């Protein structure tokens, strides 16, 4: 019978009970007895040895027979057998490795602990807390035993591996025993025990580590890699980590066992050294665990590690370089010397180059290795490793270098050669030698043996194969003897000739070194051919002093090498190629060939120049003309002889031969002259010098010169052209008596110039091309306004005389006035300051009724502008005044002439008011009634004061006498007269005083009010106001006066785009009518007395002077771009209306004497039929489609008004235009003076396209084909459009300035309206060529006919109603405008 026993240890805790009364009462109620005052808590613990013995006993029993002690031993696996005892075992497990017993209160069934009842649960939980506390005490007691045994072992020798394993097994048993598993049936038991176990003490839980027992914060988790090299780091063992993973995993968050950090490793490394394997493991761990902050960590690691290898300790921080294990590490002798700062090879072999570089170490290159073993200290320390003394080591070094040589870069090879080339490292037959003094062992090279040269010797382990030869030759070992060794013994002793030497050198050419070639280049070993037969002296030359033996170099008389080869000279032969390498000239240098081009030997010079030209793009790419500007080498022709000229003195364009410049000889015109630097044309400075000092003396010479210069005009700068414009280069008289003028003083002769301009200006014509050149220099195509102004300023009296007196002079003065914007500011200032302005003064001699007129040219300050007719009547004999035309007065005002109102001071006597009369009230009512009508119809000037509208604002007062005294400031002349009315302003009220001593005069009322309201006394305003105040209101309305403002507004709009109503035309018609009316006025009757008086007085006082208004040029060809002086045109119309308003009865006697102003052949008594008007409008449109082609369809009585030129200047203008192409079917013309005709269509593409779009749009309105509409462009002038033989020309320049920006932005309306009126104006010229009432009649008829269609095109359908009022107004006003003109002419 076998005895089985088991040893158990019971730990008992004595517990005192102290609970409050309430809990005690509740427990007593539940248990029917009071709780105990003290109790015991027991824990059954099985130690490692006892547990092992019990397991061994269990193994001895069969599996079907259970051990009787099985329930008492510890349960370390899942703690499913350990129970809570309450006097007997319950079904509740403890969750740890041992049983527990205490005074727990069970459930009714007494199988488990009661946690349901609140009070009993408190009791049981408190007992479980005691249980956890007891477990922690037992854990501490058992661990203290392990700690004592560990410390005891540490005081002696380090613990053996077996002892360490035993300690780990006991610690593992302890951890497994107190590992808290899931308890059943209530998991709260194990949870409460665990919470109490960990929380009952503030001290950290202790663990057994490699370094002993430490608290959890100091213990680190196991790392198999770190374990290979750390020696004193508290780290759990591998067995503890593996077997007690559940205990470690269930540790609470703090404190816990942490992972190993770099600082832990560094702390361990600072106190211990590492061997090679440990260092490799350390570095591998660091590489695998490196984080972002690698730089600082690397530095700390290198500073902490100390390597102990081969009996010496090396701080890793002293390591700076490493050997690449994949490159140099494969070939270096492993036992060879290396610097201390290099990582040992047995360490670097475990890492890649990148990994080693990341530690901050640099690669130890082959050059560094060679430099190290070449160091005198290394060589002297051990003869075994000195390649200058140890043949074996030299062979191993060269062998290693040879094997690694293919992997080296060119830079590394060069540096390796620099290390070895000065070392005696080559074993030869003469002993160790420098590479450059050693020779390869080539069997066929018997010459080296003959000369006794040191040859590389074979050695064991070092065989001179092809790879070794390549290496040796690279570091300087020679393959063949140097040439210098051959030249001295061979040539000096006469053993070899030059041919023999070259035969040898050609065979060895591939092995010639740079030094060999340099020696051959510097040696005088060659002879040259004799230039003359009698040359006998034999001199030797270098190769770079000679040329190949070819005919071209013999013709150039150059030194040619004497060739005695086995065959004829061939540039591609090996001998020739070697000679070229030695410096034999392929061709003459650039300076030498240019010098030969300047040779006095004609054959040499011609040959050299041809050679230079033929090889300029191959041999002489570096040719720069400026380097040879002082050499005379260009063959030229000057006059009748040939010569050599410098660059810059000869030109390739033979056209300049006409002007006397040297040009290149004809046979060289196909040579690359431009690349040689030969100018095609002379510089403008020389042309300017020629024209300045030797200008052409006759017309034939000038034609040739100017035509040649025209082809060169683009090279002249603006400053050059300005200089030419002032040079006297234009011959204007026969060569016998030449007279030269600057181009700016000449004008193009067009055969159509006015006779006056033919007397004032010089005209020339040298042909088209010559004229264009002179045009660029300032020759003018036509006389401009500026030119006329300059001539006038220079000699006004001569101008006046040549113009034919006052009438002719006034014609030219009007041109200046209408186009004054084309006159420059300096010219305007000059005209103001000099006596160039015409002033007119009228006087009456005693006993004469006719005025005498005096004309004088004066500066602007001495000429006065009449702006007050009544004042002029007083002082006309004291003043020189400007001609009384609106345009001329504006022109004079722009020059600074004062107005008459500015030079007159007015004074009047004190008024003695008398009682107001009935006339005062009537006059007040009349003015208040009619004054708004005047303001509405008079739009030339806005009132400067508030218009009176109530009797409070207008007072009419009577006085006995009004005497006005006016003083002319300039002449200090005073005139006094009595007046009937005068107006004054008093605050916001106007006072009108009327005199009892003077007869009623409504004109004086109008004059006074105009002065006060408008600050002027212009004739048109005064007459209009007088007429409105005098005539019957109903009569005025019947005569259309109430709608006159709308008519005047329309006229201004039309004339803004079309041009102007010529003031002279209307004035002349007015004067002609006055002559007829002066006689007819005697027979007139009717009308009020006041009206008759007014008409009579106004006719006498305001009739313009015959000398101040003359008939102007009719049929003016230009439409001025400046705004016209419209008010005067309107004034004349109003005068005619005012006279008609005072006439009644039959006017047939008057009209019979007046030339008919009706269109065509209709008499003044007939009304023109509408059908007739429409037919002629239609024919005017058709004239644009057939004019100049088929027969005209215009009525016979209409054709009398049509001429071949329509507008005189327009025909001449067409002659100046050149066709340059089409844009969408519309022909485009350009003024011939414009020089950019080639690029015009491209540069003006945008404006042209937009203008053509507008024109095509309007051609559909008028039903005119686009071939009858042309576009032209000029650079100056005031012509907007003109009609020539039925073809209408429209100026792009005005469209570009006025409308292009608007059309580009999408607003086409303004452009369409403007050019609609322009086309109507020009179409009207198909019926008359004059700008008169007939032209205005047809113009209005054409507009009226096409306005409905134009309005439909102008706006989309949905907006027609919005603009319908515009169509209605224009449709009404256009006939009204024509009818009023017709009525006026009929009245005359």
Which positions ≥6 away from 1129 have C-beta within 8 Å? 886, 1051, 1060, 1061, 1063, 1066
In this prediction, residue 1124 has a pLDDT band, given cuts at 50, 70 and 90, of very low
User: Tell me: the pLDDT tens digits for 1300-1320?
Assistant: 888 888 888 888 888 999 999
CB 83 within 8 A of CB 89: yes
Top-ranked range on mean pLDDT: pick from 59-68, 1049-1058, 1366-1375: 59-68
Mean pLDDT of the chain: 78
Give the percent of the chain with pLDDT over 90.
13
Angle at which helix 574-581 crosses helix 498-507, to 10 degrees, equals 100
Residue 1053: enclosing H or E segment and its boundaries? helix 1044-1058
Mean pLDDT of 919-929: 88
Q: For residue 415, what are its two tokens?
A: 């540096």
Report residue 1194: phi and psi, to 5°: -75, 145
CB atoms within 10 A of CB 1025: 27
The pLDDT score that the predictor gives to residue 1133 is 33
The sign of the torsion formed by the CA atoms of 826, 830, 836, 837 equals: positive
CB 8 within 8 A of CB 54: no
User: 124-133, 918-927, 1115-1124 — which is least confidently predicted?
Assistant: 1115-1124
CB atoms within 10 A of CB 1303: 21
Closest of 1196, 1241, 1195, 1199 to residue 1218, by C-alpha: 1241
Burial zone of 908 (CB within 10 Å; 0-12 exposed, 13-18 middle, 19+ buried): middle
Cis bond upstream, residue 1052 (ω within 30): no
Strands 954-959 and 989-995: parallel
> Is the per-residue pLDDT at 1051 higher than 80?
no
The pLDDT score that the predictor gives to residue 1188 is 40
Task: Give Cα separations from 1292 to 1228, 1229, 1249, 1255 (angstroms).
Answer: 9, 10, 11, 11
User: 37-46, 270-279, 456-465 — which is least confidently predicted?
Assistant: 456-465
Can you tell me the distance from the alpha carbon of 321 to that of 339, in angstroms, rounded to the nearest whole number?
A: 9
Can you tell me the distance from the alpha carbon of 346 to that of 278, in angstroms, rounded to the nearest whole number?
A: 12
In this prediction, residue 50 has a pLDDT band, given cuts at 50, 70 and 90, of confident
> Is the per-residue pLDDT at 269 higher than 70?
yes
> Is the per-residue pLDDT at 860 higher than 80?
yes
Give the residue with greater pLDDT, 1378 vs 360.
360
Cα dihedral 1165/1170/1172/1177 (nearest 10): 130
The pLDDT score that the predictor gives to residue 1047 is 40
Cis bond upstream, residue 185 (ω within 30): yes
The pLDDT score that the predictor gives to residue 433 is 83
Can you tell me the distance from the alpha carbon of 268 to that of 300, in angstroms, rounded to the nearest whole number?
A: 13
The pLDDT score that the predictor gives to residue 1351 is 79
The sign of the torsion formed by the CA atoms of 793, 795, 796, 802 equals: negative
DSSP string, 482-525: -HHHHHHHHHHHTSS-HHHHHHHHHHTGGG--HHHHHHHHH---
User: Tell me: the pLDDT tens digits for 127-173?
Assistant: 999 999 999 999 999 888 888 888 877 665 555 555 667 788 888 88
Which positions ≥6 away from 1031 have C-beta within 8 Å? 1041, 1091, 1138, 1141, 1142
Mean pLDDT of 519-537: 76
> Is the per-residue pLDDT at 857 higher than 90?
yes
Length of the chain (residues): 1388
In this prediction, residue 1113 has a pLDDT band, given cuts at 50, 70 and 90, of very low
The pLDDT score that the predictor gives to residue 847 is 74
Residue 281: enclosing H or E segment and its boundaries? helix 276-289
Place of tokens 């009929």: 1386
Q: How far is CA 317 from the centre of its chain?
A: 57
CB 959 within 8 A of CB 976: no
In this prediction, residue 453 has a pLDDT band, given cuts at 50, 70 and 90, of confident
Report residue 89: phi and psi, to 5°: -70, 140
Report residue 724: phi and psi, to 5°: -65, -35
The pLDDT score that the predictor gives to residue 566 is 64
Give the residue with greater pLDDT, 972 vs 606.
606
Burial zone of 741 (CB within 10 Å; 0-12 exposed, 13-18 middle, 19+ buried): middle
The pLDDT score that the predictor gives to residue 490 is 56
> Is the per-residue pLDDT at 464 higher than 60?
yes
Mean pLDDT of 1035-1048: 52
Give the residue with greater pLDDT, 1060 vs 438.
438
Can you tell me the distance from the alpha carbon of 856 to that of 882, in angstroms, rounded to the nearest whole number?
A: 11
Q: For residue 408, what are its two tokens?
A: 């080296």
Cα dihedral 48/53/57/59 (nearest 10): 60
User: Tell me: the pLDDT tens digits for 890-920?
Assistant: 999 999 999 988 888 888 888 888 888 888 9
In this prediction, residue 1271 has a pLDDT band, given cuts at 50, 70 and 90, of very high
Which positions ≥6 away from 453 have C-beta within 8 Å? 439, 481
In this prediction, residue 832 has a pLDDT band, given cuts at 50, 70 and 90, of very high
> Is the per-residue pLDDT at 1240 higher than 90?
no
The pLDDT score that the predictor gives to residue 462 is 66
Place of tokens 């009204």: 1376
User: Tell me: the pLDDT tens digits for 307-327?
Assistant: 887 767 888 888 888 888 878
The pLDDT score that the predictor gives to residue 823 is 92
User: 107-116, 595-604, 1096-1105 — which is least confidently predicted?
Assistant: 1096-1105
């Amino acid at each position: 019978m076998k005895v089985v026993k088991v040893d158990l240890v019971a730990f008992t805790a004595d517990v005192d009970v102290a609970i409050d009364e309430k809990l005690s009462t509740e427990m007593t109620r539940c248990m029917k007895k009071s709780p105990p005052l003290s109790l015991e808590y027991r824990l059954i613990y099985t130690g490692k040895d006892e547990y092992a013995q019990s397991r061994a006993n269990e193994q001895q029993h069969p599996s079907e027979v259970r051990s009787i002690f099985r329930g008492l031993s510890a349960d370390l696996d899942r703690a499913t057998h350990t129970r809570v005892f309450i006097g007997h075992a319950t079904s509740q497990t403890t969750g740890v490795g041992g049983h527990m017993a205490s005074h727990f209160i069970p459930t009714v069934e007494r199988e488990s602990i009661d946690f349901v009842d609140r009070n009993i649960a408190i009791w049981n939980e408190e007992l479980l807390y005691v249980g956890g506390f007891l477990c922690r005490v037992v854990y501490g007691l058992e661990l203290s035993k392990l700690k004592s045994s560990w410390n005891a072992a540490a005081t002696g020798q380090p613990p053996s591996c077996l002892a360490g394993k035993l300690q780990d097994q006991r610690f593992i048993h302890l951890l497994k025993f107190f590992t808290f598993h899931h308890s059943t049936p209530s998991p709260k038991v194990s949870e409460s025990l665990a919470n109490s176990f960990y929380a009952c003490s503030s001290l950290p839980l202790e663990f057994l580590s490699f370094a002993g027992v430490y608290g959890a914060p100091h213990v680190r988790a196991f790392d198999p890699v770190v374990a290979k090299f750390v020696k004193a780091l508290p780290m759990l063992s591998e067995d503890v980590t593996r077997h007690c993973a559940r205990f470690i995993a269930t540790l609470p968050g703090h404190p816990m066992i942490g992972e190993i950090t770099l600082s832990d490793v560094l702390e361990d490394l600072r106190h211990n050294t590492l061997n090679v394997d440990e260092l490799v493991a350390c570095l591998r761990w660091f590489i695998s665990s490196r984080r972002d902050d690698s730089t600082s960590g690397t530095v700390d690691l290198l500073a902490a590690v100390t390597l102990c290898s081969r009996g010496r300790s090396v701080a890793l921080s002293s390591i700076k370089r490493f050997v690449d294990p994949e490159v140099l590490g494969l070939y270096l002798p492993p036992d060879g010397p290396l610097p201390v700062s290099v990582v040992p090879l047995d360490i670097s072999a475990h890492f890649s180059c990148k990994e080693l570089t990341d530690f901050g170490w640099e690669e130890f290159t082959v050059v560094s290795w060679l430099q190290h073993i070449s160091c005198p200290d290394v060589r002297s320390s051990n003869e075994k490793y000195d390649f200058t003394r140890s043949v074996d080591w030299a062979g191993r070094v060269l062998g290693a270098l040879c094997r690694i040589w293919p992997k080296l870069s060119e830079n590394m090879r060069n540096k390796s050669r620099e290390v070895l080339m000065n070392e005696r490292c080559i074993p030869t037959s003469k002993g160790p030698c420098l590479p450059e003094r050693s020779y390869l062992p080539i069997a066929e090279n018997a010459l080296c043996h003959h000369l006794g040269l040191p040859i590389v010797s074979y050695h064991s382990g070092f065989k001179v194969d092809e790879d070794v030869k390549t290496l040796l030759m690279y570091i300087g070992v020679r393959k063949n003897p140097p040439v210098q060794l051959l030249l001295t013994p061979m040539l000096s002793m006469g053993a070899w000739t030059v041919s023999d030497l070259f035969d040898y050198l050609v065979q060895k050419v591939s092995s010639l070194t740079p030094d060999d070639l340099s020696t051959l280049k510097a040696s005088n070993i060659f002879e040259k051919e004799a230039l003359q037969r009698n040359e006998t002296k034999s001199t030797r030359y270098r190769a770079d002093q000679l040329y190949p033996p070819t005919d071209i170099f013999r013709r150039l008389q150059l030194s040619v090498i004497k060739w005695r080869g086995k065959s004829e000279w061939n540039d591609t032969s090996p001998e020739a190629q070697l000679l070229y390498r030695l410096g034999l000239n392929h061709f003459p240098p650039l300076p030498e060939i240019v010098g030969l081009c300047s040779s006095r030997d004609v054959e040499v010079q011609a040959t050299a120049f041809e050679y230079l030209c033929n090889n300029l793009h191959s041999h002489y790419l570096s040719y720069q003309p400026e380097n040879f500007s002082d050499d005379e080498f260009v063959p030229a022709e000057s006059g009748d002889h040939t010569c050599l000229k410098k660059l810059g003195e000869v030109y390739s364009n033979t056209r300049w031969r006409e002007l006397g410049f040297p040009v290149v000889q004809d046979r060289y015109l196909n040579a690359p002259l431009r690349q040689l630097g030969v100018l095609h044309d002379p510089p403008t400075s020389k042309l300017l010098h020629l024209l300045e000092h030797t200008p052409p003396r006759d017309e034939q010479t000038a034609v040739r010169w100017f035509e040649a210069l025209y082809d060169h005009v683009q090279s002249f700068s603006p400053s050059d052209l300005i200089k030419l414009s002032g040079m006297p280069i234009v011959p204007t008289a026969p060569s016998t008596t030449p007279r030269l003028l600057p181009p700016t003083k000449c004008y193009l002769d067009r055969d159509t110039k006015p006779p006056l301009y033919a007397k004032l200006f010089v005209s020339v014509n040298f042909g088209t091309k010559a004229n264009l050149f002179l045009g660029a220099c300032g020759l003018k195509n036509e006389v401009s306004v500026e030119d006329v102004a300059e001539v006038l300023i220079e000699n006004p009296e001569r101008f006046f005389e040549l113009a034919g007196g006052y009438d002719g002079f006034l014609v030219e003065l009007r041109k200046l006035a209408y186009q004054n914007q084309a006159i420059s500011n300096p010219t305007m200032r000059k005209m103001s300051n000099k006596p160039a302005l015409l002033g007119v003064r009228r006087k009456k001699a005693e006993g004469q009724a006719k005025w005498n007129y005096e004309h004088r040219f004066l500066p602007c300050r001495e000429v006065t502008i009449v702006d007050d007719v009544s004042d002029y009547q007083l002082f006309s004999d004291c003043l020189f005044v400007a001609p009384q035309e609106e345009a001329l007065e504006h022109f004079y005002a722009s020059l600074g002439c004062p107005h008459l109102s500015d030079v007159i001071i007015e004074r009047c006597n004190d008024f003695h008011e008398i009682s107001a009369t009935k006339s005062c009230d009537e006059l007040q009512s009349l003015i208040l009634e009619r004054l708004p009508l005047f303001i509405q119809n008079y739009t030339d000037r806005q009132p400067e004061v508030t218009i009176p509208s109530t009797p409070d604002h207008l007072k009419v007062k009577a006085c006995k006498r009004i005497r006005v005294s006016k003083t002319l400031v300039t002449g200090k002349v005073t005139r006094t007269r009595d007046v009937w009315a005068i107006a004054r302003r008093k605050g916001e009220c106007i006072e009108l005083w009327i005199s009892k001593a003077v007869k009623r005069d409504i004109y004086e009322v109008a004059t006074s009010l105009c002065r006060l309201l408008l600050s002027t006394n212009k004739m048109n305003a005064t007459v209009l106001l007088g007429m409105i105040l005098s005539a019957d209101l109903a009569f005025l309305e019947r005569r259309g006066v109430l709608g006159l403002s709308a008519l005047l507004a329309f006229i201004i709009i039309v004339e803004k785009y079309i041009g102007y109503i010529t003031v002279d035309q209307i004035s002349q018609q007015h004067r002609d009518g006055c002559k007829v009316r002066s006689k007819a006025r005697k027979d007139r009757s009717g009308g009020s007395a006041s009206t008759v008086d007014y008409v009579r007085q106004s006719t006498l006082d305001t009739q313009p002077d015959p000398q101040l208004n003359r008939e102007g040029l009719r049929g003016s060809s230009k439409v001025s771009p400046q705004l016209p002086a419209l008010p005067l045109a309107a004034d004349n119309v109003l005068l005619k209306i005012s006279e008609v308003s005072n006439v009644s009865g039959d006017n047939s006697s008057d009209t019979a004497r007046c030339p008919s102003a009706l269109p065509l052949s209709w008499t003044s008594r007939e009304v023109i039929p509408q059908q007739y008007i429409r037919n002629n409008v239609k024919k005017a449109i058709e004239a644009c489609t057939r004019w100049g082609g088929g027969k005209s369809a215009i009525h016979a009585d209409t054709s009398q008004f049509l001429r071949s030129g329509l507008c005189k200047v327009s025909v001449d203008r067409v002659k100046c235009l050149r066709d340059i192409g089409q844009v969408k079917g519309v022909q485009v013309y350009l003024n011939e003076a414009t020089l950019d005709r080639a690029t015009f269509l491209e540069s003006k593409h945008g404006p042209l396209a937009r203008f053509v779009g507008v024109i095509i749009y309007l051609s559909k309105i008028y039903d005119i084909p686009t071939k009858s509409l042309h576009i032209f462009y000029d650079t100056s002038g005031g012509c907007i459009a003109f009609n020539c033989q039925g073809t209408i020309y429209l100026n792009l320049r005005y469209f570009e300035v006025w409308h292009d920006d608007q059309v580009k932005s999408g607003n086409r309306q303004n452009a369409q309206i403007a050019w609609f009126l322009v086309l109507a104006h020009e179409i009207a010229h198909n019926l008359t060529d004059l700008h008169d009432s007939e032209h205005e009649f047809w113009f209005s008829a054409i507009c009226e006919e096409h306005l409905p269609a134009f309005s439909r095109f102008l706006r989309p359908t949905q907006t027609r109603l919005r603009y319908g009022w515009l169509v209605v107004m224009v449709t009404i006003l256009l006939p009204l405008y024509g009818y009023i003109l017709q009525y006026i002419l009929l009245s005359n």
